[in-house]
């Protein structure tokens, strides 16, 4: 079992920044890939970013590449998502997810992740 807790959500004006953090506990030694997803009202959950635990390889959705940065701190068992140049389309509930085992080209599929956090709201509005 792995427990995930997200923190750092909130409200920000367009062009602003937020930093989300996901703290993992439990069987963290078995984590292969960590991901961030988001879901807006009336929409399906969508992939945002992924990082391969202890290897540091990263992938991003086209919609956030160049604005968001995913990073990990293995000593603290945390994965952060730095979000810059936010716009209203980034408004969503953001979820942290963990896969037991390293994902290959399926990292963007929510169905490949085994554990999820409760989510944290990000609202971008003027």
Closest CA relative to residue 68, chosen from 51, 87, 81, 56:
81
Pull the structure tokens for residue 17: 């920044």
CA separation for the pair 114, 109 (Å, rounded):
11
Reported as a single tens digit per residue, the pLDDT across 66-83 is 999 999 998 899 999 999
pLDDT of residue 7: 95
- Concatenated DSSP letters for 61-94? -TTTBTTEEEEEETTTTEEEEEE-S--GGG-EEE
Whether the pLDDT of residue 13 is over 90: the answer is: yes
pLDDT of residue 36: 98
Whether the pLDDT of residue 33 is over 80: the answer is: yes
């Amino acid at each position: 079992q792995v427990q995930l807790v997200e923190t750092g959500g909130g409200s920000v004006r367009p062009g602003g920044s937020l930093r989300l953090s996901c703290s993992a506990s439990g069987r963290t030694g078995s984590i292969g890939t960590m991901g961030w997803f988001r879901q807006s009202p009336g929409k399906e959950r969508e992939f945002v970013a992924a990082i391969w635990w202890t290897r540091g390889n990263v992938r991003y959705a086209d919609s956030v590449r160049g604005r968001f940065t995913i990073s990990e701190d293995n000593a603290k068992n945390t994965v952060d998502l730095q979000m810059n140049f936010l716009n209203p389309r980034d408004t969503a509930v953001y979820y942290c997810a963990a896969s037991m085992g390293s994902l290959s080209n399926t990292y963007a599929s929510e169905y490949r992740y085994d554990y999820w956090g409760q989510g944290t709201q990000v609202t971008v509005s003027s």
